[in-house]
Every structure is written in structure tokens, then in C-alpha cells.
Structure 1
Amino acid sequence: MKDDIIIPEVKNVYIAIVNEYNDIYNTQDWNAYIINDKEVDLEMVLIVTSGYSKDKTTSVFRKKLDKLPKKSYAKIELMQEELFALNNTFKVSFFEGHTMFDKTYLFRKNTINLKALQPIPLMEAKGVLVK
């Protein structure tokens, strides 16, 4: 029975933690984004995030997007810098056509920092990217 289950590989969908200026509060903020670098729209995108370490666990955050258009991105959440000392997971599920895709993205503890910034696909910003 398990041999009949086909789990397709997720390609060209990324999670990025971006360091950007907040015009309203005049602060540098860290925001999590989902990026759809595919040539097709994603439908019913479900994102479940949490942070953990050996002795700490954060509450679970959930977000749903009805549609994430091709070659676009959407903000998931504001991230507090205290969370970067934890492993942060982003479990993403979505439909592409009639096929469901699922992937867990992991930002290991202390890997989100200013020294790790790199250009982010489709965004005119720098951040930390997990493919």
C-alpha cells in the first residue's frame, strides 16, 4: 500500500527571513515570506510555523493563503530576534493543480543573522533563504 503513495518533490518554493525597514515604526524588522518562483499559481497554501530547542518550544502559528500567484511572494509573519536562538520550522502544504505538495523548511538555530544575508529571488531585498 505504501508503494502506491507518490510524494512529489517541492521545487521553486522557498521560505525567506528578510531584514527590512519598517516605515511605520522606523525600525529594522525580520519578516518571514513564502516565495513562489514557479510558472504556476499555488492554491490553498497552508503554513504552520513553530520554534524549538532542547528545553523551549514556541506556540504554533498558522497561516492560510487561498492563492499564491506564480512568480510572487507573501508575508507570513513578523519574527522576533529572540526566536533566532531556536530551530524554526515552516511546514508548507499546497495544491498545484490537483496534486498536493508538502515540505518542511528548517532554519537551524543562530543561522538567521545579518552576516548570513543574501539576495532573495523575486524580492528586492536581502535575507536568509531555505530552499
Structure 2
Amino acid sequence: MKKDIEIPEVKDVHVAVVQEKHLEYKTLDWNAYIINNSDEDLETVLIVARGYSDTKITPVMRHTIAKLPGRSYAKIEFLQEKVLALNNEFKITYFIGNQMFDKSYLFRKNTINEKALQTVPLMQLKGILVK
């Protein structure tokens, strides 16, 4: 039964959107990353990403990472400039051992911008972090 499933609180796993220089095209791109700031390895990481507003919605993007080691990060996807004006949501589910964890991370519309940049843990790059 659903009521019997316990999903513990997610700690030390974050999503960040980082502005990075694209070496080939010489552009500044926004890329979303998952950050595992814990000592535990994350297994079977499932990520569902979407952008939305009252009048627009993007196609749902699904990503899988087999294993994300402790104290590491992985790129989720590139974000086009047009979707920064939308709410961008990342639903992340993963396992540590036999325990399932699940959390949604939301970047509200227009919050991904150069004025909001801060240093992102582990990456030592400037970006916007949702905990």
C-alpha cells in the first residue's frame, strides 16, 4: 500500500544551473547539474525535467544516471534561453542501498539570471542553486 512506503527526507543532493562558456561555439550557456554533496553513492538516479507557465509547457525530458558517486556532480541538460522565462522543475528519484529518495527542485521563472549567480558547492563555479 502507498501509505506503507516511507520516503526519507533528501539531504545534501541539490540541483544547480550554471553558466558556462561553450568552447566550440564561444557562447555562454546555461546547464543544469545534479550535485551529490553527501558521502553516499546515489544509484539509479531518475530525473524528469520540464518547463511550464500558465500558458506554455515544454516537452518532458527524462534522464538516467546509473551511479553518482559521493561528493560529485553530473550534467543533466542544457537550458535554452527561452525556457529561463518559465518555471523549470526537476523531479529526482534515486536509491541509496535499498532506500528510495525523491524530491522536486523548482527554479521559478526568471530566477535563472546573471544577477543571481553564487558559488556552487563542489563545482566551484558560479550558478543558481536549489536545495
Q: Which residue of 2 aligns with 1:121?
A: 121
What is the correspondence of 1:51-70 to structure 2 with a 5 Å cutoff?
Answer: 51-70=51-70
TM-score (norm 2): 0.96
Q: Which residue of 2 aligns with 1:41?
A: 41
Task: Note the C-alpha offset of 1:3.
Answer: 5.2
CA RMSD of aligned residues (A): 1.0
Counterpart CA distance in 2 for 1:4 and 1:38 is 27
Query: Residue 91 in 1 paired to residue 91 in 2?
Result: yes
Q: Which residue of 1 aligns with 2:109?
A: 109
SS state at 1:103 partner? strand
TM-score (norm 1): 0.96
Counterpart CA distance in 2 for 1:92 and 1:81 is 23
Task: Note the C-alpha offset of 1:2.
Answer: 5.8
The gaps in structure 2 that reach 5 residues or longer are none
What is the count of residue pairs matched by the alignment? 131
Counterpart CA distance in 1 for 2:6 and 2:76 is 28
Q: Which residue of 1 aligns with 2:16?
A: 16
Paired amino acid for 1:50: R
Q: Which residue of 2 aligns with 1:29?
A: 29
Spell out, residue by residue over 1:28-70, the C-alpha distance to the aligned partner (whole angstroms, 9 max, x if none): 1100000000101000000000000001000000100000010
Counterpart CA distance in 2 for 1:104 and 1:91 is 4
Paired amino acid for 1:99: Q
Task: Note the C-alpha offset of 1:107.
Answer: 0.4
Counterpart CA distance in 1 for 2:31 and 2:6 is 33
The gaps in structure 1 that reach 5 residues or longer are none
